Structure 1
Amino acid sequence: MTEEFHRIRRLPPYVFAEVNQAKAKARASAEDIVDLGMGNPDSPTPPHIVAKLVEAVQNPDTHGYSASKGIPGLRRALAAYYGRRFNVELDPETEVIATLGSKEGLANLAAAISSPGDTILVPNPSYPIHQFGFIIAGASVRSIPHTPDHAMLEALDRAVRHSVPKPTALIVNFPSNPTGLMADLDFYRELVAFAKKHKIYILSDLAYAELYYGDRIPPSILEVPGAKDVAVEFTSMSKTYNMAGWRMGFAAGNRKLISALTRVKSYLDYGAFTPIQVASTAALNGPQDCIDDMRKLYKERRDVLVKGLKQAGWDVPVPEAGMFVWAEIPERFRGLGSVEFSKLLLARAKVAVAPGLGFGEHGDTHVRIAMVENTQRIRQALRGIRGFLQGDNAGPAIEAGSDGVKA
């Protein structure tokens, strides 16, 4: 029956569902699966943030409807964060809005600014909502390279010259989910200049701003002078403060886009539960050493995971940022594609990963491995992977034939 609905028809089957079903079946059979699939932080929210939530929820005045655009103190706290971190000045009243996570904000802004037939430029591979938020809204998506370099800029130029109608907006996500790639300010300067020249909006997803491991620190596109003329940026509390389930995020930047999102949201929700907003304010204004601790934790996990995969014969890049390893499928199994390889890894190594196809067809040669288990469990996963890749249970080499996948 759902096939009768136009917007549902535009959505392909959920790629991650097959692996999730196989994982659930294995666990129902009492198999110990190390789940490195979903980017769901396993560490608790810092105690001072939880304490503020408990304090706020005990006040019955906080139990009613909240403010759709976010309580004033929370919007001021986000503006203060941008001032400290990026030296960017934001007006909390007109250039900041609180969202129910960055995912909701992106989807609702897509609905606010898109008309059927509009063209949106989206990196491929990219986080699914970047593409499907606009597809659900009725727009058409054109894929561009996912690398923050001249390949992307050249593709943007071709898109402007050959797309009818001319593109309305461009999505960027650095540090990237799933690839972990970072952009620098020089790239953002070129991007902003291009967008201004061709009157294209930029939607920047900066959810992983604080998850970096070297001397390079992720910048904000809003640091570029004049960027607010064309750009809006989404941030999130989910990874920075281990608050994924709290569903708190923000959009900041271009006043016209913030106003459009504010108007749409005013019809759809009353904002997050007020105690959550109060606690989020405490997180942004309070001690930030918890972020340093989080960064050290993920760096340790990253180093253990990357080293172990290389020792197992799986050569993967070392991500500079984010909480994922974007791993090319070993050549022996590449013909399977990412979904079948992920299912094979689950069955033989007892490790769940995310198939790259879920992030776009150009991701089908990769899988995304999340650093969401402690080092002991990661080492357990590595033993399973090593046994699979080096042992008899790997099976024969697999390649793609003209009639599909074969051994």
Structure 2
Amino acid sequence: MSEYGANKRMEGEATVTTRSWRADRLNKLGSSIFAEVAEWLEAARKQGQDVIDLSIGSPDIPPSDAIRKALSEAVLREDAYGYPGSKGSAAFLQQAADWLLYRFGIAMDPSSEVLSLMGSQDGLGHLGLSLCNPGDVALVPDPGYPVYSAGLALAGIEPYYMPLRAENNFLPDFEDIPQEVWQRARFMLLNYPSNPVSAVADEVFYAKAIAAAKQHHVLIVHDLAYSEMAFDGYRPLSIFQIEGAIDVAVEFHSLSKSFNMAGCRIGFLIGNREAVGALRELKANIDYGVFLPIQEAGIVALQEDMKGNKGSVGPVYEKRRNVLLDALRDEGWDIAKPKATMFVWAPLPPMRWNLSEKWNSRRISREMLTHAGVAVVPGDAFGAEGEGYVRIALVEDEQRLIEAARRIGHFIRGEQIINK
């Protein structure tokens, strides 16, 4: 029986029939492991542990002074509290278009090819509803960010998971996708630099993706949330820097990580005007857009970047990456250094104790928190292909990352750790 169906409970000798108000589709949303990790964290803290939380990718650095000043001044204006409009203010849309031209050399029409969002997750969660009919297929990465699958579940879309594996540099192989899947597919979701696997893509890959999309009449949905978090001189690409993309692609941008504005909830979608227009039409019916003062703060963030006044987040996370991974290598866990994002996608460490039992992603993550007070996310939270990995978020300062590495080293060796 459906969870929405009748449930029975006993009261005295009478049978009382009750009804569940929880929809079945909720069972398909996200991954229960995130709730499980939250429970692990709560239990550890209740026991007095000093937890170093490297699980969730929430920036620990505030926005710049200019961004915060713009926001604080805007919220004091009496005229700032009307409905902002679901499309986005003309000023924010124009500034987004100006920044895209500055950063990537791409021209977008702010009136028809740019749409403001309450963060890119807002758009990713709703896009399927505006593009697809129930029973359609979408191609999604595995491992992948959980909202990708959640958005499909809300819209009744069938996912086809494209495996991302180390031997292929965590890129999907379009030739491995069966013809019958291509025939049913409406869109293909790509994410580079990627969460959780921290992989990057080049012009050759994007050109292949565009060619496949045109051949099979599939829309590419590119999530570029980490465009400004790159290291070692690498500069992530927009798919629109590749010829022909405007015919078959849209792309999500976010101010959350690039400008430390995660709590503000602001981002934007760009690209093919029909697809952008479909999401705009849907959102016109379900929300009134981003609070105007936040859009004004977003304008300042983009302007600062264009003026070269913003302290780039890239060098901060590059240094954290180096500090953590160098320290972990010294402790016996050697992990390849990613070129981008605020995450490290790490194969399971070489455990040196309790070798008679199998260590998997979830068990290592749980026991690392219990014995070392360091929280990471097991790779299977992001899909079946994530087994054998953990994701580490670079969201603590360098000294705490060094301490995390020290504790993990003790954990790998099976040594007693005191972290209360």
TM-score of the superposed pair, with normalisation by structure 1: 0.92
**1:25 and 1:152 mapped to 2: Cα distance?**
34
The answer to whether the Cα contact below 8 Å between 1:41 and 1:239 also exists between their aligned partners in 2 is yes
Task: Give 1:28's aligned residue.
Answer: 46
Over 3 Å counting, the alpha-carbon distance change for 1:2 and 1:316 in structure 2 is farther
The answer to whether the Cα contact below 8 Å between 2:228 and 2:313 also exists between their aligned partners in 1 is no
Task: Determine whether 1:3 maps to 2:22.
Answer: no
**2:164 and 2:98 mapped to 1: Cα distance?**
31
Task: Give 2:80's aligned residue.
Answer: 62
In structure 1, the residue corresponding to 2:185 is in which secondary structure? coil
Over 3 Å counting, the alpha-carbon distance change for 1:7 and 1:149 in structure 2 is same
Task: Give 1:402's aligned residue.
Answer: none
Find 1:384's aligned residue among 386, 407, 410.
407
Task: Determine whether 1:311 maps to 2:334.
Answer: no
Task: Determine whether 1:193 maps to 2:211.
Answer: yes
Find 1:208's aligned residue among 219, 223, 226.
226
**2:82 and 2:381 mapped to 1: Cα distance?**
38
Task: Give 1:223's aligned residue.
Answer: 241
Find 2:384's aligned residue among 346, 361, 367.
361
In structure 2, the residue corresponding to 1:122 is in which secondary structure? strand
Find 1:322's aligned residue among 337, 341, 358.
341
Shift of 1:387: 1.1
Identity percentage of aligned residues: 39
Shift of 1:227: 0.5
Shift of 1:187: 1.1
Over 3 Å counting, the alpha-carbon distance change for 1:331 and 1:258 in structure 2 is same
Find 1:281's aligned residue among 299, 307, 328.
299
Please give the per-residue CA displacement for 1:345-374, whole angstroms capped at 9, x wherever unaligned.
000111001111111111021110000000
**2:113 and 2:300 mapped to 1: Cα distance?**
21
Task: Give 2:91's aligned residue.
Answer: 73
The answer to whether the Cα contact below 8 Å between 1:125 and 1:360 also exists between their aligned partners in 2 is yes
Find 2:137's aligned residue among 89, 103, 119.
119
Q: Which amino acid aligns with 1:305?
A: L
Task: Determine whether 1:349 maps to 2:349.
Answer: no
Shift of 1:160: 4.7
**2:142 and 2:387 mapped to 1: Cα distance?**
10
The answer to whether the Cα contact below 8 Å between 1:148 and 1:182 also exists between their aligned partners in 2 is no
| Most deviating of 53-62 and 152-161 | 152-161
The answer to whether the Cα contact below 8 Å between 2:56 and 2:393 also exists between their aligned partners in 1 is yes
In structure 1, the residue corresponding to 2:380 is in which secondary structure? helix
| Most deviating of 323-332 and 100-109 | 323-332
Task: Compare the two structures and name the one with the higher helix fraction.
Answer: 1
Mapping for residues 233-244 of structure 1, pairs under 5 Å: 233-244=251-262
Q: Which amino acid aligns with 2:228?
A: E
The answer to whether the Cα contact below 8 Å between 2:164 and 2:171 also exists between their aligned partners in 1 is no
Q: Which amino acid aligns with 1:3?
A: E
Mapping for residues 250-265 of structure 1, pairs under 5 Å: 250-265=268-283
**1:368 and 1:13 mapped to 2: Cα distance?**
14
Task: Determine whether 1:162 maps to 2:185.
Answer: no
TM-score of the superposed pair, with normalisation by structure 2: 0.89
Q: Which amino acid aligns with 2:158?
A: S
**1:279 and 1:308 mapped to 2: Cα distance?**
37
Greater CA radius of gyration, 1 or 2? 2
In structure 1, the residue corresponding to 2:358 is in which secondary structure? helix
| Most deviating of 335-344 and 360-369 | 335-344
Please give the per-residue CA displacement for 1:181-200, whole angstroms capped at 9, x wherever unaligned.
11011211111111011100
Find 2:57's aligned residue among 20, 36, 39.
39
Q: Which amino acid aligns with 2:257?
A: K
Q: For the aligned residues, what is the CA RMSD?
A: 2.2
**2:186 and 2:277 mapped to 1: Cα distance?**
17
**1:152 and 1:116 mapped to 2: Cα distance?**
29
Shift of 1:6: 3.0
Task: Give 2:8's aligned residue.
Answer: none
